[in-house]
Amino acid sequence: MEKEISLKAKNTPQLWILLSANILIVCGIFLPIHFKELTYKFDIILILRGLGASIAPLILFLLNGLLSSNQKAVLVFWKLKHPLPGSEAFSKLSKEDTRVDRKRLKDIHGPLPKNPSEQNKLWYKIYKKNSLDIVISESHRAFLLARDLASLCFLFVVFIGLPILVIENWPINIYYFSFLVVQYIIVVIGAQNRGRRFVTNVLAIETK
Residues in the chain: 208
- Number of domains present in the structure of the chain: 1
**pLDDT score at 167:** 81
Please tell me the distance from the alpha carbon of residue 155 to that of residue 78, in angstroms, as a whole number: 15
| pLDDT at residue number 73 | 96
4-13, 169-178, 190-199: which has the highest mean pLDDT? 190-199
**pLDDT tier at 1, thresholds 50, 70, 90:** very low
SS3 sequence of the chain: CHHHHHHHHHHHHHHHHHHHHHHHHHHHHHCHHHHHHHHHHCCHHHHHHHHHHHHHHHHHHHHHCCCCHHHHHHHHHCCCCCCCHHHHHHHHHHHHCCCCCHHHHHHHHCCCCCCHHHHHHHHHHHHHHHCCCHHHHHHHHHHHHHHHHHHHHHHHHHHHHHHHHHHCCCCHHHHHHHHHHHHHHHHHHHHHHHHHHHHHHHHHHHCC
- For the segment 22-59, what is each residue's pLDDT rounded down to a tens digit? 666 666 666 555 555 555 545 555 555 555 555 556 66
Task: Judge whether residue 173 has pLDDT over 70.
Answer: yes
Per the structure, the complete domain to which residue 142 belongs is given by: 2-206
